[in-house]
Structure 1
Amino acid sequence: MPRSHDTFAALERPYPFTTQPRQARARIGLVQLASDYTLENDWRRLATEGVEIYSTRMAYNSLMTPDSLRATAGNIADAADLVAPGLELDVMAFGCTSASMLIGNEAVAERLTRSRPGLPATNPWLASLCALRQLGIGRLAVLTPYATEVNRPLYQGLREAGFEVVAFGAFGLSLDTDIPAIHTEAIAAATADLLAGSRAEGVFFSCTNLRALPLLDSLEHRFGLPMVSSNQALFWHALQLAGQQADIAGCGRLLAASPAEGVA
């Protein structure tokens, strides 16, 4: 054994090194629900050169009820601690629209940044409200995958935020894991029905697990109205909070070119 060790000691060569300077223009930390199959793939499509995403998942029972969604608050801080420990991030994001709406923006932000105090934080509910205002949408058509018990507080939250909801549709699902299976054709058909005869100035697709992102550009061209989805808005707002401008083609006018100023 000593002889073998001596042989290795003679082979091993120590080298000096220099450290690589930061290349990323934005580093985003992301906490997702275990049951979300869509957000990660949507963000992979949106992440342009220089945008780094560091994500983790947190336990969730998939039940889309107000009580289950509120209960996710207890897992956010521990999950956030697992996101790239020791690495300098520019913003933290939480990936659930309905849970954020029910828990509250300040409570979500506090849990996301408990181990990184002072870091900007966002969530899909907050980001979507900011995006709708950015696009000048006052009268909304809303499409969700949720059941009524989640839709009602969402509707009330939008009204309290100052929006007029003129049409509201839903697929009525109670399990988060069922949501990604909703066909994009069904989403497009429901959108057309909601907009028929309505006075909506835009459409909000609520839920990070709903596969709305690939449709946004074509729906905007078809109806001549801005379309906002949870994943699109969350990515946009995270970039804004990181001081970066979005310039992404084919994913709706929100991301086409947005100033990195004046966003709450």
Structure 2
Amino acid sequence: MTRRVLLGMLTPSSNTVLEPVTQAMVAGLPEVSAHFGRFKVTEIALSGSALAQFEDAEILRAAELLAHAKVDVIAWNGTSSGWLGFEADERLCERITAATGIKATTSMLALNEILKTTGVTRAGLVTPYRDDVQAKILANYASLGVDFSNERHLGLQDNFSFSEVTADQLTEMARAVAADGVQALAVVCTNLRAGPLVEALERELKLPVYDTIATVVWKSLILAGVDPKRVEGWGSLFRNVA
């Protein structure tokens, strides 16, 4: 029997996109399956109550439940460290591994690795977030030497509403940030339906497009010992980034 590869995904409770998209991404890998644990996330803002959703205790509780399924990796399939600061994800991964003995990653740490590996210093950014959240993301990336000033965001706060952003809206936002000098485009939010658009966007814009559902699947496969090049039809990330 071929060894099963089990990917554990920590999921915002109000997210309706990342589960079906993740399952579709790995559908061509017969030994790989994705398994999901939810914790409460209903809004994205900088208020005390909104920030408290991402305190480690609830996330660790969900991670420990995923560990019961003997998953090969536990990934936070979310983008909160974009505004909290990337050290929040680094600390979370350390705590998950300490509590479960399982390797851990996140959408944003994977994106950062990809940008560093590919030498991207100027990129376009698409999100659904509020002005103040977007400003935090821009500042955090500036500290890494990545200029995301070519950006578009929708000013939304309710996490469920992100899933209702249309393909046409996302396509127009991507076109708007694909300015001269941009080396890549990042879609930062795991409740946007951008993943299925990536191949078409890359053909049209002649740029790599890094969707944060794809980034965490890419890194999770690597940590689980699966060649991400086996994922077909979901963008140049899987084909070209070692």
Matched, 1:98 2:80: yes
Query: Which position in structure 2 is the counterpart of 1:42?
Result: 21
1-structure distance, mates of 2:213, 2:60: 21
Aligned length: 234
2-structure distance, mates of 1:41, 1:166: 31
The DSSP-based 3-state class of the residue aligned with 1:151 is helix
Matched, 1:188 2:171: yes
TM-score, normalised with respect to structure 1: 0.82
Contact 1:127 / 1:237 at 8 angstroms: preserved in 2?
A: yes
2-structure distance, mates of 1:69, 1:45: 31
Q: Structure 1: 5+ residue runs without aligned partners?
A: 1-20, 260-264
Query: Which position in structure 1 is the counterpart of 2:239?
Result: 256
Comparing 148-157 with 241-250, which one deviates more in the overlay? 241-250
Comparing 101-110 with 175-184, which one deviates more in the overlay? 101-110
The DSSP-based 3-state class of the residue aligned with 1:45 is helix
2-structure distance, mates of 1:23, 1:227: 31
1-structure distance, mates of 2:181, 2:151: 12
Contact 2:81 / 2:89 at 8 angstroms: preserved in 1?
A: no
Query: Which position in structure 1 is the counterpart of 2:195?
Result: 213
1-structure distance, mates of 2:90, 2:67: 23
1:213 alignment partner AA: G
Query: Which position in structure 2 is the counterpart of 1:58?
Result: 39
Check 1:239–1:164 CA distance in 2 against 1; reply closer, same or farther (3 A cut).
Answer: same
Which structure is larger by alpha-carbon Rg, 1 or 2? Answer: 1
Matched, 1:29 2:8: yes
Check 1:217–1:136 CA distance in 2 against 1; reply closer, same or farther (3 A cut).
Answer: farther
How far is the alpha carbon of 1:116 from its aligned partner? 1.1
Superposed CA offset, 1:110-155 (max 9, x none): 34334313x3211111011112233332211101100012111111
Q: Structure 2: 5+ residue runs without aligned partners?
A: none
TM-score, normalised with respect to structure 2: 0.89
Superposed CA offset, 1:94-123 (max 9, x none): 121025651612222134334313x32111
Contact 2:67 / 2:100 at 8 angstroms: preserved in 1?
A: no
Comparing 182-191 with 94-103, which one deviates more in the overlay? 94-103
1-structure distance, mates of 2:83, 2:113: 13
Comparing 228-237 with 102-111, which one deviates more in the overlay? 102-111
- Give 1:138-177 correspondences, 5 Å limit: 138-177=121-160
CA RMSD of aligned residues (A): 1.9
How far is the alpha carbon of 1:30 from its aligned partner? 1.3
Q: Whose relative contact order is higher, 1 or 2, with alpha carbons under 8 Å and at least 6 apart? A: 2
Query: Which position in structure 2 is the counterpart of 1:11?
Result: none
Percent sequence identity over aligned pairs: 24
- Give 1:61-140 correspondences, 5 Å limit: 62-66=42-46, 67=48, 68-73=50-55, 74-85=57-68, 87-99=69-81, 101-102=83-84, 104-117=88-101, 119-140=102-123
